[in-house]
Structure 1
Amino acid sequence: MIRLGGKYQHLVHGFGCGCLSPEVQHASRRLEDLSRRGVLAGLGAAFFAAAAPPIAFAQAPASPSKILLKQAKVFDGKSATAQSGVQVLIEGSRITAIDTTNSAPPADATVIDCGGRFLMPGLIDAHWHSLFAAVPVATAVTGDPGVIFTASTAEAQRTLLRGFTTVRDVGGPVFTFKQAIDTGIIPGPRIYPSGAMITTSGGHGDLRMLTDIPRTPAQLSIVEKSGGAMIADSAAEVQLRVREQFMQGASQIKMVGGGGVSSPRSPLDMTTFSESDLRAGIAVAQDWNTYVTVHAYAPKTVQRAIAAGAACIEHAHLMDEDTARLMADKGIWLSIQPFLSVEDSVPLTGPSAERLQQVFVGTLTAYEFARKYKIKTAWGSDMLFSPDMTARQGTMLTHLSRWYSNAEILQMATSTNAELLALSGPRNPYPGKLGVLEAGAFADMLVVDGNPLEDINLLNQPEKSLAVIIKDGKVFKNTLAA
């Protein structure tokens, strides 16, 4: 979602998925020879080539093996309050001790004096698109892998410096990019990758030109070659495409169950996959001991996904009370984004603008239902296609104050979101505890200048309010004196 003038409004993504308009696809036809593997291979070469790359990418810092954060006011990710006078010991990538006795630091530890500041787990965004978040429309039109890599690399670092140490990527060829972050070649958040979103002909994410119809299954469209989406029109195709994502390292799968706001040919109320086709994809995910999340707005679409065995629903802004009650009864996760106004979206006209208003109105109702029926609710931002919009990632989190207390917001963006990520089971790329500050958990944490339990808007100003950012035991930012 990006605020643009009329010249480019037709080129942008809508809610819910990183997908390009038909016009962009048409402009990108010259890239027919760039298969998905070719793009990824090109990025991989940029990451791992022996020769020096033309751009010097910042690598993960070399942090000491032991770090002690002393005199901290600790919010552990689960409690409603913070405890003062606590020190936290990090050894390697893990927290080894939460100490309230102020024991002497190990002789070989580097000490960071928090000076009574607020210490909390790193933030988690449950709906993110790592390769589409900050790539401008002009870049999407040219489709240059090097430029896309550069823009996404810069955004990954900005995401981390906003305090988001983990994201769940719900659509995009992010596997090699994730590897570059995990190996320390570039700084960025942990990524739980879905790979290409699985959709149908005419579904949200099917961005072929009408001249490309009828479809030839053996010949992939441009969006499929890029790895942004894969089209499947039978149970067998669904199984194939889901298995392909797992082969590449997906931790969970995203299937597109309905339409989107600005998708040119997929109305918001439509339902795509049949229940049996959804079941086919979900069965494969279950065979891989993980789960499927389904993009769905309308009640019928959400209910079909639940009947097929989906563990999580993305969006559901238009759900009715019966659907909310069903989600609660079945223990289904709701991954929803608090879209409130045009400031959170791209200006749209015609039918898309009408759908956009539906989502704004539906947001208010959906969150009320989520609270009323105690649905397991995760938070995500779904910012797309502009660094100006991604800079609002923290703002989207603070939108939750309309329905939740500050403590509940912090819990949702840390320990609650971590529970959703843990559904990936043995496909979890980071086996261990996230979203909490406790012994044995990953050392992902933030030192905040101020108390977000009292002022959640501190997270709107990460460049000012975040004094220390640590991910995987490595210090990426520290403005405190030694």
Structure 2
Amino acid sequence: MSHMSLIQFPCTHSDLCLCHSPAFVRINTVFSQKAAQSAPITRATVAAAVPAPTAQKRNATDNAARTMAFVNISVFDGVSDTLRDGLRVLVEGNRIKSVEPVETPLPPDVELIDGDGGTLMPGLIDAHWHAIMARPSMMTAMTADFNYIQALAIAEADATLMRGFTTVRDMGGPVFGLKRAIDEQVANGPRIFPSGAFITQTGGHGDFRLIGELPHTPSDPLSYAERVGMTAIADGVDQVLLRAREQLMRGASQLKYMAGGGVASMYDSISVTEGSVPEIQAAVIAAENWGTYVTVHAYTARAVTMAINGGVKCIEHGQLVDEQTVQLMAEKGIWWSLQPFLDDEDAVPMASPASRAKQLEMVAGTDNAYMLAKKYNIKTAWGTDTLFDAKLATRQGAQLAKLTRWYSPVEVLKMATSVNAELCALSGPRNPYPGKLGVIENDALADLILVDGNPLDDVQLIAQPERAFRLIMKDGQIFKNTLENSHKG
């Protein structure tokens, strides 16, 4: 069959179809003439037409194909209570090929990475991160050109990875493009489990409109925050279904719903319950039809109970719940994504006295929340929820280390590795990174940190990534390496 016959295949569309327009006819004629003059398509012509990979892409490919063996190390595997010695960890491509005794014969041409007696551990996971909102101030986020906000997010993603956080569960914001750029190795950053725009009611925690923009009618344009994909305002079951399905269509690995008042929001107190059981059920149905789940922003017992009755699988925050609500969480097997919010140097700066008062009300419940989570053995994840403060973002590891107020160092490290990974995996078929995260075991994804020292003895090492993290690997690729001893075996 000739090129001409391929392009001029008879059209059976109606006369109103674009195929019959003069412009299409002219374009088709030009393409047909060019095709007729071209050489036949063969394997050789395809190979000649495809450009050679750039140096950057070639290096990434070579790196992904390497076989590396970490030696002279102790291993924290993400699940054990102690370090494991006498082991060697082989990485092939983007997977851990084996965790084996050091005396096991090595295959040829393996690159040996001498860990100099350090501790090899899984990459860290932040279960409540906002890649778009972590670095800009609130005023910048609201007023700057959004291309600038995205540029800040790209820079922050690179910094996040250099702090040893190889995975983040993004709890709201337009990160689909950033995630794709990282996955395609256009930019450096962690794996991102995106929620997309968080779903909120009118006047809820995610409604950033000004009073002067009300009343809103169906014919009015969307607000700025809605247009850029930060938030999705939805009132009623039908609107919730629509906005939930839009986020899933864009690639959300889980959905985020605002079920209660917030600290930084302008209109709602923390005591406000937002949404309704039918609306939350609508989001849950949309998520479960795609094989994933809904998590909710909520602080109070009433908001958390309503969300559980709506079928959600995870609670974000929850500092003001009561014991009866935590018992319900335990009964239903609900995850609790808690943050160590205290009135200290890591408190998110507030823009108004009203928000500051709400912040103090919320942090007063933090100790009780952790006590109840431990008492009822709730599956507890950790995240920072850093917002609008570039300096605070740099303290990601320090905020993790702060968990020793309630947990032992090994419990802290488990939470930020294997436990958080288990929560990420709750997205099921919507998991963008199939494979085991947060552990060092055979066939797990090769996200690794080599620590100069023993973080089980000195958990503050994770708060000093510039000094303490000698090597950072994500997906089998090395992004930081200050070791001097690497050679072929």
TM-score with structure 1 setting the length: 0.86
Report the counterpart of residue 418 of structure 1 in structure 2.
421
Output one character per residue of 1:327-354: Cα deviation in whole Å (capped at 9) or x when no partner: 1111000001001124222344533222
The secondary structure found in structure 1 opposite 2:422 is: helix
Output one character per residue of 1:229-282: Cα deviation in whole Å (capped at 9) or x when no partner: 000001000000000000000000000001101211011010110111111111
What are the within-5 Å matches in structure 2 for residues 241-280 of structure 1? 241-280=243-282
The secondary structure found in structure 2 opposite 1:300 is: helix
Q: CA deviation at 1:383?
A: 1.0
The secondary structure found in structure 2 opposite 1:246 is: helix
| Residues 71 and 102 in structure 2, CA contact (< 8 A), matched pair in contact too | no
> Partners in 2 of 1:223 and 1:388 — Cα distance?
24
Q: CA deviation at 1:217?
A: 3.5
> Partners in 2 of 1:431 and 1:480 — Cα distance?
30
What is the aligned residue count? 427
> Partners in 1 of 2:328 and 2:262 — Cα distance?
23
Match of 2:336 among 334, 337, 346: 334
Output one character per residue of 1:310-366: Cα deviation in whole Å (capped at 9) or x when no partner: 000000010111111111111000001001124222344533222111121100100
1:469 aligns with 2:472: yes
Q: For residues 448 and 322 of structure 1, do their structure 2 counterparts lie closer, same or farther at Cα, with a shift above 3 Å needed?
A: same
Q: For residues 60 and 140 of structure 1, do their structure 2 counterparts lie closer, same or farther at Cα, with a shift above 3 Å needed?
A: farther
Output one character per residue of 1:57-104: Cα deviation in whole Å (capped at 9) or x when no partner: 9x9695252111112100110011111121100110000110114334
Report the counterpart of residue 125 of structure 1 in structure 2.
126
Q: For residues 416 and 312 of structure 1, do their structure 2 counterparts lie closer, same or farther at Cα, with a shift above 3 Å needed?
A: same
Q: CA deviation at 1:115?
A: 2.0
Q: CA deviation at 1:109?
A: 2.0
The secondary structure found in structure 1 opposite 2:125 is: strand
Report the counterpart of residue 216 of structure 1 in structure 2.
217
Match of 1:399 among 399, 402, 412: 402
Q: Which has the larger radius of gyration?
A: 2
The secondary structure found in structure 2 opposite 1:354 is: helix
Query: Which has the bigger relative contact order, CA under 8 A and spacing at least 6?
Result: 1
Report the counterpart of residue 283 of structure 2 in structure 1.
281
Report the counterpart of residue 79 of structure 1 in structure 2.
80
1:357 aligns with 2:357: no
What are the within-5 Å matches in structure 2 for residues 77-226 of structure 1? 77-137=78-138, 139-218=140-219, 219-226=221-228
| Residues 78 and 439 in structure 2, CA contact (< 8 A), matched pair in contact too | yes
Report the counterpart of residue 70 of structure 2 in structure 1.
69
What are the within-5 Å matches in structure 2 for residues 33-52 of structure 1? none
The secondary structure found in structure 1 opposite 2:450 is: strand
> Partners in 2 of 1:308 and 1:66 — Cα distance?
48
Report the counterpart of residue 367 of structure 1 in structure 2.
370
Report the counterpart of residue 47 of structure 2 in structure 1.
none
Q: CA deviation at 1:387?
A: 1.9
Report the counterpart of residue 429 of structure 1 in structure 2.
432
> Partners in 1 of 2:373 and 2:152 — Cα distance?
36
> Partners in 2 of 1:423 and 1:197 — Cα distance?
18
Output one character per residue of 1:296-322: Cα deviation in whole Å (capped at 9) or x when no partner: 001000000001100000000101111
> Partners in 2 of 1:330 and 1:402 — Cα distance?
27
> Partners in 2 of 1:439 and 1:210 — Cα distance?
56
> Partners in 2 of 1:434 and 1:119 — Cα distance?
15
Report the counterpart of residue 45 of structure 2 in structure 1.
none
The secondary structure found in structure 1 opposite 2:413 is: helix
Q: Percent identity?
A: 51
| Residues 73 and 118 in structure 1, CA contact (< 8 A), matched pair in contact too | yes
> Partners in 1 of 2:177 and 2:348 — Cα distance?
29
Q: For residues 262 and 146 of structure 1, do their structure 2 counterparts lie closer, same or farther at Cα, with a shift above 3 Å needed?
A: closer
| Residues 60 and 186 in structure 1, CA contact (< 8 A), matched pair in contact too | no
| Residues 166 and 190 in structure 2, CA contact (< 8 A), matched pair in contact too | yes
Q: For residues 169 and 300 of structure 1, do their structure 2 counterparts lie closer, same or farther at Cα, with a shift above 3 Å needed?
A: same
| Residues 169 and 193 in structure 1, CA contact (< 8 A), matched pair in contact too | yes
Q: CA deviation at 1:108?
A: 2.2
> Partners in 2 of 1:61 and 1:451 — Cα distance?
32
| Residues 60 and 476 in structure 1, CA contact (< 8 A), matched pair in contact too | no
Question: Structure 2 regions of 5+ residues with no counterpart?
Answer: 1-50
CA RMSD of aligned residues (A): 1.7
> Partners in 2 of 1:350 and 1:153 — Cα distance?
32
Matched letter for residue 357 of structure 2: E
Q: CA deviation at 1:137?
A: 4.2
Name which of structure 1's ranges 188-197 and 339-348 shifts more when overlaid on structure 2.
339-348
The secondary structure found in structure 2 opposite 1:83 is: coil
Report the counterpart of residue 230 of structure 1 in structure 2.
232
The secondary structure found in structure 1 opposite 2:331 is: helix
TM-score with structure 2 setting the length: 0.85
Report the counterpart of residue 449 of structure 1 in structure 2.
452
Q: For residues 475 and 397 of structure 1, do their structure 2 counterparts lie closer, same or farther at Cα, with a shift above 3 Å needed?
A: same
Name which of structure 1's ranges 209-218 and 360-369 shifts more when overlaid on structure 2.
209-218
| Residues 338 and 363 in structure 1, CA contact (< 8 A), matched pair in contact too | yes
The secondary structure found in structure 1 opposite 2:169 is: strand
Matched letter for residue 256 of structure 1: M
| Residues 156 and 187 in structure 1, CA contact (< 8 A), matched pair in contact too | yes
Report the counterpart of residue 382 of structure 1 in structure 2.
385
> Partners in 2 of 1:139 and 1:353 — Cα distance?
20
Matched letter for residue 161 of structure 1: M
Output one character per residue of 1:187-222: Cα deviation in whole Å (capped at 9) or x when no partner: 100000000000000100101111111122453111
Matched letter for residue 194 of structure 2: P
> Partners in 1 of 2:149 and 2:225 — Cα distance?
15
> Partners in 2 of 1:397 and 1:403 — Cα distance?
11
